[in-house]
Structure 1
């Protein structure tokens, strides 16, 4: 099989890496990809939003399966365009991808299908926000309605912080969601979904804040680990029965069935498991710590799923920890093109998130640049391996958190 992956970051590198391990796969292409993933894939020099070019390539190259990695092409309807051109694609339609593209749509679906989540209010003006916030207890959560690459969330500790966050969000001409603050243990549950079939991967736990001890602004994710022993099996079953399956079945009922990776950003609260958010694709950096633990052949299981055959996702007993190296200044302003010295190490997998090669040396080319991933017999063992091997990457332009894998509740 020839596989095409659409995207350019660490998630797509991880997907290409595991796709190439499949006995079914002869070649992996990534559009546009990055220079760091050329160890496992052929990158194609097309722009990420050149959808006509992507379709033309898939047809001419006789691609057997396309996996759409990141959210923007899904929101733009690339999966629909591919289906119209008889290209087998693993990724939701434009309408189904609205589960990520619009927080309001997601909330409406959850309300209609009795899926537990935080209560909320949609805000369209500052005056509306002032009236609503005067009646709330703090903290509250402020979210932009549309896509924000994991950075459109503010936890406001008081009225002034909430008003400032609403003003900032409204300045982007986006409606704003104000939610009650959920307390508990946060975790990521990602599933393979095709219509009403739902199969869960092992759990992961992401670290969103930029700095140690969960300080600083929200990011796209500064590190991750899997599995998550803090979450009992009963809670996983509850999440599948009350959240993931009802959503998939609800989308079928609405006439917009979902096919692809369905991401549930969930929290185990005192009242049970509740939804923080849904995404229409594999999480990043969750993909980079879940996929190295996957014993099953991902491509074979995706093909089984799409042919309505039984699916079995099996995982190795080892734990996995990944630490992101980000450009200094991220998630705010940062420079690109700064050198990185990388020495090989047998105990780690290095996924490239935002690099390019200049004069035979890798340089920075994004906010999140690399993710250093290691396995171990336990989370602590994997964490120790991760931070030891991290020393083989040298750059004055990068920073990382020092507490990834220190179990958080």
Structure 2
């Protein structure tokens, strides 16, 4: 039946393209960071380059939302990935790069590649038949998580074998594959038909300000994702402190967290979440409560197996929360302003990551890592219970 719906056969290609795109993003960051250190040997210059790399997508995401909402939105996505690939191919030809080169590259590539962040969710929602959006969003998260794991691993190998040049070539290939997926999606979207609604009405900020239920949903999504940065900064402190372990355990904890998220997304991609659960505030509330409880268990852990279990369960709870919140965002926001709203949310989520890292680090420094994790967990439990009772 779904094969008769325009665009339904394109979603798999688009999700696969997203995996290549996410892998390219991770590959780019890994290769760029290592190359800056190799070329300059300066921690300050590395910090400056990574700051530019972080700030540009925050500014670009809301602007990308406006482009996505335009009639030629899919064409913008094809062009942006192609332009990013072209920049990387040009960068691969540069010999003896300096700080200025790294800064330009760190600003230009994310500027173009950032369109695909909100664009993927918007276009998948348009290509998905009613009742299948949650499954489609879960599959896109599987692709994203897989790419985020594979990208840095591949980047480390390539930068060691051929330096930044080889990383740029591989990254350009990943973006070209993503552009090809967007090209196919553009054709399918023409069959689906144009977006209905008044594109000139309230933008992302005004639409969020005028919808109380949507504001609550966005707040939950931002807090849940911001907690990733806060807990991540405490993991090495917990590994070295209460767990009395080394770098290997720290890596295991990070892998367990990502593995938990990937496991839930994979499960929901093959076994659809009931629609009534997606729309029920108690589902998100329980997800946040479970996430907070897992952080509390992590704070109390004094053995590596228990800590790994707690972190994996936290990843699973966050995976459920992400799939549900993403699905509700793309289904409850009117299609005419969906790109602008998701672009704004993407920018806010990116801004919260360094804030979460700062808060988590300060709390761990003042109170100790276990206390910081416990307080963060208690706050999430409180928020989850309050949201479930809305």
Assess same fold via TM > 0.5: no
**TM, length-normalised to structure 1:** 0.27
- The structure with more strand, counted as a fraction of residues: 1
- The structure with more helix, counted as a fraction of residues: 2
